[in-house]
């Protein structure tokens, strides 16, 4: 495996750094490669780097599980998996060649295939971390099913490093599809509502959807024999759509200074007045550049969804059960040393749902 991934075990050093921080009552800002900094997901003044704690600990293709250290580059992992005909079961964004596995888990973001597949959270099987008492603790494991004790490994997905320093993670994998094809259709925004039921008919072969600039892109994945029979009657034009650029937020669309993302219940009509939009997840996620964030937040909340701002005017985040968030933070990190500013910005404030 060394052919694909550099190997360094820095667990002891990372643990010592946490213990020192505890002794000196110094908060720690945890960072991988910092590749998500432009999306506001990396603490300012990062002081604990996990980037050189890297390498694959265990990978047996039969098991459909990989266990790797948090600093391992996602790109290296993708190459390793592809060489065995496999991929991550979730659609994990890889913003840059330097982006790390730990960063992906902490952010907990999902790419366009999420709506027809599984979320990153759903694929976290196990996790080892340094907690806020300076101890190394291990939860979950490499097996598919495990209900011994509370599920504290999934809790790390999307926790933005506020509950501990993730040392390594075990993730569920999936086979690479035999064949993958994208078709483009000319569809106006107001016609989309009629297209989503058609999309449902393409399940289980449909693996991702995206709409932008009057074009709807549908990706089908599966056995070649099945796709070859469906494609001739499907219509649309074959196109080499860059799904990775969309997943990794590298498409030009995402370069704007104001960028926000609306998460909606399925089939929720949503008129957006200001800014440019891009839809994926069959319309259950809408990206808006140059929008009016406070207005978007009001609209999305009325519709039973929520808004995330990646760049531009911030809005107070709304989490369910903020009191439980505070208590859990305290249970993992009693001295409040891990990413304290991120905790108060992202999880601390807001009212009850």
Partner 1 sequence: MSAEALLTELRSRLPAECLLTQREQIAPFECDALPVYCSRPLAVVLAQSEAHVVAVATACHRHQVPLVTRGAGTGLSAGAKPIEAGVLLVTAAMNRILELDRDAMTARVEPGAVNLQVSRAAAPLGLYYAPDPSSQIACSIGGNVAENAGGVHCLKYGVTVQNVVALRVVTAEGQVVLLGSQCLSQPGYDLLALLHGSEGCLGIITEVTVKLTPLPEDTRTLMADFSCVRAASDAVSAIVRAGVIPAALEMMDALAISATEAFCHAGYALDAAAILIIDLDGDPREVEAELLLVEEVLGRSGATRVQLAADDVQRALWWKGRKSAFPAIGRLSPDYYCIDGTVPRHRIGDVLEAIQSFAVNYDLRVANVFHAGDGNLHPIIMFDGREPDVLERVERLAADILEYCIAVGGSITGEHGVGLEKINQMAVQFSDAEIAQFMAIKEALDPQRLLNPDKQIPELARCQEYRALRRSHE
- Residues 316, 17 contacting (CB under 8 angstroms): no
Q: How many residues bind partner 1 (CB under 8 A)?
A: 82
Question: 48 vs 157, which CB is nearer to partner 1?
Answer: 157
Taking the complex as a whole, the smallest distance from the CB of residue 180 to partner 1 amounts, in Å, to: 14
For partner 1, the closer CB: 197 or 214: 197
2, 150, 194, 273: residue in contact with partner 1 (rule CB under 8 A): 150
Minimum distance from residue 154 beta carbon to partner 1 (Å): 4
- Tell me if residue 29 falls in helix, strand or coil: coil
Task: Specify the DSSP class assigned to residue 298.
Answer: H
Instruction: Go through 284-317 and write b for each residue having 16 or more CB atoms within 10 A of its CB, e for each that does not.
Output: bbbbbbebbbeebbebbeeeebbbbbbbbeebeb
Which of 155, 192, 270, 272 is in the footprint of partner 1 by CB under 8 A? Answer: 155
Nearer to partner 1, 150 or 213 (CB): 150
Q: β-strands 179-186, 237-238: how paired?
A: antiparallel
Nearest to partner 1 of 51, 278 (CB atom): 278
Q: Which residue among 17, 99, 100, 131 contacts partner 1 (CB under 8 A)?
A: 131
Nearer to partner 1, 51 or 159 (CB): 159
69: nearest Cα among 89, 51, 54, 88: 54
Q: What is the nearest approach in angstroms of partner 1 to the Cβ of residue 245?
A: 20
Residue 198 engages partner 1 in binding (rule: CB under 8 A): no
Spell out, one character per residue from 255 to 294, where the chain touches partner 1: x when CB under 8 A holds, - when not.
--------xxxxx-------------x--xx---------
Contacts to partner 1 from residues 86-115, by CB under 8 A: 108, 110, 114-115
Say if CB 252 and CB 169 are below 8 A apart: no
Least separation, in Å, of the C-beta of 240 and partner 1?
24
Other Cβ atoms less than 10 A from the Cβ of 189: the count is: 15
Q: Are 214 and 187 in contact (CB under 8 A)?
A: yes
Q: Residues 201 to 220: which contact partner 1 by CB under 8 A?
A: 203-205
**Three-state DSSP state, 183:** strand
Please give the residues from 57 up to 86 whose contact with partner 1 meets the rule CB under 8 A: 60-65, 85
Quote the least distance from Cβ 68 to partner 1, whole Å: 16
For residues 263 and 319, the answer to whether their CB atoms sit within 8 Å is no
Separation of alpha carbons 42 and 31, rounded Å = 7
Member of 133, 212, 311, 335 binding partner 1 (CB under 8 A) = 133
- Pick out residues in 301-340 that bind partner 1 (CB under 8 A): 304-306, 308, 317-321, 324-325, 327-328, 330-332
Choice between 33 and 88, CB closer to partner 1: 88
Contact call for residues 103 and 32 (beta carbons, < 8 A):
yes
* CA pair distance 327, 223, nearest whole angstrom: 47
């Amino acid at each position: 495996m060394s052919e694909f991934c550099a190997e360094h075990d820095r667990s002891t050093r990372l643990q010592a750094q946490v213990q020192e921080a505890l002794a000196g009552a110094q908060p720690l800002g945890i960072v991988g490669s910092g590749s998500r900094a432009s999306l506001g997901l990396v603490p300012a003044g990062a002081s604990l780097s996990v980037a050189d704690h890297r390498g694959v600990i265990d990978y047996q293709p039969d098991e459909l599980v990989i266990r790797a250290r948090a600093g391992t580059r996602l790109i290296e992992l993708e190459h390793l998996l592809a060489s065995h005909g496999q991929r991550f079961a979730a659609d994990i964004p890889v913003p840059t060649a330097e982006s790390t596995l730990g960063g992906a888990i902490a952010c907990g973001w999902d790419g366009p295939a999420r709506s027809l597949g599984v979320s990153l959270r759903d694929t976290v099987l196990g996790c080892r971390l340094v907690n806020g008492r300076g101890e190394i603790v291990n939860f979950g494991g490499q097996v598919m099913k495990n209900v011994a004790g509370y599920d504290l490994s999934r809790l790390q997905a999307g926790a933005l490093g506020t509950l501990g320093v993730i040392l390594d993670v075990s993730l569920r994998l999936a086979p690479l599809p035999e064949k993958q094809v994208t078709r483009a259709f000319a569809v106006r925004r107001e016609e989309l509502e009629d297209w989503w039921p058609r999309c449902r008919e393409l399940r289980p072969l449909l693996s991702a959807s995206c709409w932008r600039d009057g074009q709807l892109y549908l990706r089908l994945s599966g056995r070649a024999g099945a796709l070859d029979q469906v494609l001739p009657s499907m219509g649309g034009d074959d196109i080499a759509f860059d799904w990775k650029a969309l997943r990794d937020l590298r498409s030009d669309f995402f370069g704007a200074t104001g960028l926000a993302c609306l998460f909606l219940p399925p089939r929720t009509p949503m008129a957006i007045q200001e800014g440019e939009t891009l839809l994926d997840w069959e319309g259950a996620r809408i990206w808006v550049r140059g929008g009016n964030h406070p207005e978007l937040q009001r609209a999305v909340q009325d519709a039973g969804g929520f808004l995330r701002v990646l760049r531009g005017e911030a809005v107070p985040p709304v989490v369910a059960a903020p009191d439980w968030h505070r208590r859990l933070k305290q249970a993992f990190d009693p001295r409040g040393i891990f990413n304290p500013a991120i905790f108060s910005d992202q999880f601390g404030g807001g009212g009850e749902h």
